């Protein structure tokens, strides 16, 4: 008899195990705290690596160029299909 492969997150019978129950003395936040939110937001923004001005300009130009190329391609393909449909159905 061959053994069944059991994934790491499954029990031998194939079901996924239940997460452990939370203890009753563990406190949950009572509600929204504006000061806590602002403090955490400030600490997260301090971790952000902001792009340089040159990097911002070059990447913005690349995005604008790609959007323009894709829009132009869609325009020409749409006109091609319109011409084909008018040729076939007229």
Instruction: Look at residue 8 and tell me if it is in a domain.
Output: no
For residue range 2-15, what is the model confidence (pLDDT) as tens digits? 555 555 556 666 66
In the chain, which ranges are continuous DSSP H helix?
34-46, 53-89
Tell me which residue range forms the domain holding 79.
51-90
**Is the distance from CB of 51 to CB of 59 less than 8 angstroms?**
yes
Instruction: Look at residue 45 and tell me if it is in a domain.
Output: no
Instruction: Look at residue 62 and tell me if it is in a domain.
Output: yes
Instruction: Look at residue 84 and tell me if it is in a domain.
Output: yes
pTM score of the predicted model: 0.50
Distance (Å, rounded) from C-alpha 5 to C-alpha 12? 9
Percentage of the chain with pLDDT > 70? Answer: 68
Count of domains forming the chain: 1
Instruction: Look at residue 18 and tell me if it is in a domain.
Output: no
Instruction: Look at residue 37 and tell me if it is in a domain.
Output: no
CA 36 to chain CA centroid, nearest Å = 26
Instruction: Look at residue 70 and tell me if it is in a domain.
Output: yes
């Amino acid at each position: 008899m061959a053994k069944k492969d059991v994934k790491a997150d499954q029990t031998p019978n194939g079901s996924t195990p239940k997460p452990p129950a939370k203890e009753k003395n563990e406190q949950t936040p009572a509600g929204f705290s504006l000061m806590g939110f602002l403090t955490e937001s400030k600490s997260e923004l301090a971790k952000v690596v902001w792009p340089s001005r040159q990097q911002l300009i070059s990447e913005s130009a690349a995005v604008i160029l790609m959007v323009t190329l894709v829009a132009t391609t869609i325009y020409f393909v749409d006109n091609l299909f319109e011409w084909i449909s008018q040729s076939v159905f007229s």
